[in-house]
Amino acid sequence: MARKLVTNRSRPTARQAYRQRQRQRRRQRLTWLLALLVIALVMGIPAYAYYQEFIRPPREPLLRVNDTQFNMGYYVKRLRLMQGSQGSGQTLDLATVPFLLVETIEEQELLRQALPRLNIKVTPEEISAEVRARIQRPPNPQEQVSPAQLDAEFKRLYAQFLHNTGLSDREYQEIVEADLLRDKLRERLAEQVPTVASQVHAKSILVRTDEEAQQVINRLKNGEDFGAVATEVSQDPEAKDNAGDLGWIPRGIMPESFDEKAFSLEPGTQSEPVAAPEGSYIIQVLEKAEVRTIDTNAREKLKDQAVKNWILEERKNNDIVRYFDSKKYDWAIDQLRTK
């Protein structure tokens, strides 16, 4: 009779059971890690996109003046401030204003950093008074309004103003302070502006290109009136409205190349095109005076030029980096339009 074979499976040892449990745990941990990774990817992609679109752009640098840096979020607030200051029906010139604003922020910071050596001070009282004057219209003398009512109205208007621009109270006060500093610097520099000087009485025509300049020269050679041509084509609004007449001007108001040519011409003569940063000038000198009192309008322009010259020197002597580019320009304009 055949004997039945019985397979006798031995039970796993304790060590083998331990290893088996370890392998199961590793598989479970791997499964959990893969699941967490998938969840992180699913949640992380929109979070990253949100960061890239909404969080990162306002933090991008706009400008650095020595150790002080301004970001794009602040820049957009300043753009909104300028937009809000436009009169009814007026809009910002987006071809020029955004770029000029970068220069303005830079100039204001240069002024603040120069305070210790300028010995110019703006008091908190001056800042507060200027803020109130900019935000709140003067009361009608015929209206009976108490100081408490005026104060309440100012607080309401100011809170609304800060909300619309996104500026904080401190940020706006710093802007006002910089404007007041510039005014005081202008008056300080005005002490160096002369009251008498050598001057010329001149007319000018400003055009943008060499081709336009040559066309003007040809028209004048053909006998056309200088003032009529200036009124028609000059790109200098002030001169254009006065048939090209600049009045009596000392050195320092017009570009250096203009001054050199104008003061070398004899009365009754005109120049060939004179190159300048803003284009080409054709100059006609009417009169000259070796010593003449500088009129009020010309002296105000000299004061403005003195401030510009001061800022130019400060730019040379400070560490300034501009990060503004076309991509940041586009982002800022989008923020302005979607507000």
Query: How is residue 2 written in tokens?
Result: 């055949």
Q: Is 26 helix (H, G, I), strand (E, B) or coil?
A: helix
> How confident is the prediction for the chain on average, in pLDDT?
89
pLDDT at 145 over 90: no
| CATH (domain of 76) | 1.10.4030
For residue 284, give the H/E element and its range: strand 279-293
**Do both 165 and 91 map to the same domain?**
yes
Query: How is residue 11 written in tokens?
Result: 């039970």
**Least confident window among 4-18, 56-70, 243-257:** 4-18
Can you spell out the DSSP letters for 166-216? Answer: ---HHHHHHHHHHHHHHHHHHHHHHTTS-SEEEEEEEEEEEESSHHHHHHH
Rounded Cα gap, residues 245 and 301, in angstroms? 16
- Residue 52's pLDDT is 55
**Do both 119 and 181 map to the same domain?**
yes
**Least confident window among 5-14, 99-108, 148-157:** 5-14
**Do both 177 and 161 map to the same domain?**
yes
Q: Which domain holds residue 96?
A: 61-134+149-191+312-338
Residue 300 lies in a domain: no
Residue 144 lies in a domain: no
- Euclidean distance between the first and final Cα of the chain, in Å? 100
**Do both 168 and 265 map to the same domain?**
no
Of the candidates 272, 239, 244, 240, the residue with the CA atom closest to the CA atom of residue 258? 272
**Do both 75 and 209 map to the same domain?**
no
| CATH (domain of 247) | 3.10.50.40
Residue 173 lies in a domain: yes
Q: What is the pLDDT of residues 31-54, one digit of tens each?
A: 877 777 777 667 666 655 544 565
**Do both 285 and 333 map to the same domain?**
no
- Residue 39's pLDDT is 75
**Do both 76 and 154 map to the same domain?**
yes
- What is the band of 339 on the pLDDT scale with cuts at 50, 70, 90? low
pLDDT at 132 over 80: yes
Rounded Cα gap, residues 99 and 322, in angstroms? 11
- What is the band of 9 on the pLDDT scale with cuts at 50, 70, 90? low
**Do both 159 and 255 map to the same domain?**
no
Q: Strand pairing partners for 69? A: 64
Q: What is the pLDDT of residues 152-186, one digit of tens each?
A: 999 999 999 999 999 999 999 999 999 999 999 99
**Do both 179 and 320 map to the same domain?**
yes
63 contacts 324 by C-beta, under 8 angstroms: yes
Greater pLDDT, 64 or 238: 64
Residue 142 lies in a domain: no
The residues, any chain, with a CB within 8 Å of residue 276's CB and separated by 6 or more, are: 255, 257, 258
DSSP-H helix ranges across 51-60:
56-59
Residue 261 lies in a domain: yes
pLDDT at 280 over 70: yes
Other residues' Cβ atoms within 10 Å of the Cβ of residue 251: 16
- Residue 29's pLDDT is 80
Q: What is the pLDDT of residues 192-239, one digit of tens each?
A: 999 999 999 999 999 999 999 999 999 999 999 999 999 999 999 888
Rounded Cα gap, residues 166 and 76, in angstroms? 9
226 contacts 216 by C-beta, under 8 angstroms: no
pTM more than 0.85: no
pLDDT at 297 over 80: yes
Rounded Cα gap, residues 292 and 237, in angstroms? 26
What share of the chain in percent tops pLDDT 90?
71
Greater pLDDT, 243 or 115: 243
**Do both 95 and 216 map to the same domain?**
no
Can you spell out the DSSP letters for 117-175? Answer: HHT----HHHHHHHHHHHHSPPPPTTS---HHHHHHHHHHHHHHHHHHH---HHHHHHH
Residue 29 lies in a domain: no
Residue 22 lies in a domain: no
- What is the band of 254 on the pLDDT scale with cuts at 50, 70, 90? very high
Angle at 78 between CA 73 and CA 80, to 5 degrees: 95
Greater pLDDT, 105 or 144: 105
122 contacts 180 by C-beta, under 8 angstroms: yes
Angle at 51 between CA 46 and CA 56, to 5 degrees: 160
Residue 229 lies in a domain: yes
φ, ψ for residue 279, nearest 5 deg: 145, -145
What share of the chain in percent tops pLDDT 70?
90
Q: What is the pLDDT of residues 67-80, one digit of tens each?
A: 999 999 999 999 99
Q: Strand pairing partners for 199? A: 250, 289
**Do both 123 and 218 map to the same domain?**
no
Amino acid letter, residue 327 = K
Q: Is 320 helix (H, G, I), strand (E, B) or coil?
A: strand
**Do both 269 and 205 map to the same domain?**
yes
Rounded Cα gap, residues 298 and 249, in angstroms? 6
**What is the count of structural domains for the chain?**
2
Mean pLDDT within 125-137:
94
